[in-house]
Amino acid sequence: LFSNCLPTNVFGIAAPENIDYWIHFLLKIPDFLLQNNDPLHSDSQSDSRLDWTLLIGAENAQTASKGIYVDQNGFIYVVGETNGGVYNPRPIGMKDLILGKYDSHKNTIWTQQIGAIDVALNVSAMTVDHNGNVYVTGSTGNDGFFPNPLRSSEDMFVIKFNSDGTRDWTTQAGPQEKESRTTPTSIYIDTSGNIFVVGFSSGPFGGPELGANGFIAKFDPQGNQTWVRQLFISRHTQISTLCAAFDRVQNTYVTGSGNANFETNTEINDFGVKNLFIFKYDNDNGNKQFFAQLSFPSRSIESNTITVDTLGNVFVGGNSNADFGSGADRTSHLATLVKYNSLGVLQWIQQLGPAQSQDPQNNYHTTISSLDTDTEGNVYSIGSTNGNILKVHE
């Protein structure tokens, strides 16, 4: 229901039955769009016409996009960072946060550029609630942005902007440990207005351990930290790509991957092996429960995105060089989509992409970067590949 997916429209793709549904509904297009049966050639430009583009930046400056969101009314929100004057006549600090709201015709509704002198703001992600309020998370390693001094070498922040673009509040978070760094990666909001941030910290944030670890933190609608939980296995366990989603009863599912057995909380010493994991947290108290793990001997499975449908089924997308019926021979990583039911029981695994590479210097890599579902239970994905997925699945 809530996930870190980016909304998109896809046009001019062949009928699903001609390319095996992109492996059972990895991509599904409504019938009224399926007028062109050749995805690479079209006589009509009506369905594939680029409507408009918008370039945001400043001369002699570096400006980077960090997120985009389209709300239920069609308004578009863009967040990023810059060392120039984009929405301001000149830069405020060493690197500023920029945020803009546009209508569907790219007319500007409002913009914001915030920062502080001699401060670099590292923007990570953004989300928008049903009232049009915007929440941005990131981090900084410079004093001067928060009213209080830094707690560590890099603290995280959460900023709420009201629907008119005015800044409502700013929250600072992180462990009281000068050598540690806290870096958020994703931000989510539930139907009650509570904010959840996942990311990584090298300090005792939500737990006593130092070293590489993950975290999930909850903030109330006023920006007060409600709880934070540390995700840690051992000093030698590397966890990557944490993201989250909610179900209908407001449980939070966090997925990632790492070189550990997450069911037994033990590290794995096999080089290059990564297991996919899902933990379930109750939103009220943050109690963690093991939900699911996917592993394959001497292979890597990495998760990039997670979503939950209206029935409580959990879908995780990413990539793997394991053979789940695809014929992968470890030379290529295939886009991998996994479905679990609401009890964490594996339902199926589907893979997409070239399974084998003849050139050891040019291995194929296909991955899913974002997922969403509709009310009928269909799954939609966004991803990338350096191979020809259409030729593979003709």
| Cβ atoms 94, 122 nearer than 8 A | no
What band does 143 get if pLDDT is binned at 50, 70 and 90?
very high
pLDDT of residue 390: 73
Higher pLDDT, 150 or 325: 150
Q: What is the pLDDT of residue 37?
A: 33
Closest by CA position to 185, among listed 124, 135, 276, 252: 124
Mean pLDDT of the region 176-191:
95
- In tens, the pLDDT along 56-97 reads 999 999 999 999 999 999 999 999 999 999 999 999 999 999
pLDDT bin (cut points 50, 70, 90) of residue 48 is low
Nearest to 282 by CA among 194, 183, 204, 172: 194
Predicted TM-score of the model (pTM): 0.85
CA 41 to chain centroid? 32
Q: Identify the burial level of 71 via C-beta atoms within 10 angstroms of its C-beta, where 0-12 means exposed, 13-18 middle and 19 or more buried.
A: middle
340 vs 15: which has the higher pLDDT: 340
At residue 47, the pLDDT reads: 52
Query: Which carries the bigger pLDDT value, residue 137 or residue 32?
Result: 137
- The pLDDT value recorded for residue 234 is 83
For the record, the structure tokens of 336 come out as 């991998």
Q: What tokens does 364 get?
A: 């194929």
Alpha helices (H) along the chain: 21-24, 389-392
Nearest to 141 by CA among 124, 117, 115, 122: 122
- 3-state SS, 275-343, equals EEEEEEEECCCCCEEEEEEECCCCCEEEEEEEEECCCCCEEEEEEECCCCCCCCCCCCEEEEEEEECCC
At residue 212, the pLDDT reads 83
pLDDT tens digits, one per residue of 201-245: 999 999 999 888 999 999 999 999 999 999 998 878 888 889 999
Which DSSP category does 248 fall into? T
Determine the average pLDDT of the residues in 193-197. Answer: 97
What residue spans define the domains of the chain?
62-185
Which residues lie closer than 8 Å to 17 by C-beta, 6 or more apart?
none
Of residues 25 and 159, the one with the higher pLDDT is: 159
Residue 28 has pLDDT above 90, yes or no: no
Q: How confident is the model at residue 392 (pLDDT cuts 50, 70, 90)?
A: low
pLDDT at 373 over 50: yes
How far from 58 is each of 81, 127, 139, CA to CA, in Å? 11, 25, 23
- Higher model confidence: residue 330 or residue 340? 340
Q: What is the mean pLDDT of the chain?
A: 86
Structure-block tokens of residue 113: 């550029």
Give me the pLDDT at residue 113, please. Answer: 98
Could you tell me how far CA 233 lies from the centroid of its own chain? 22
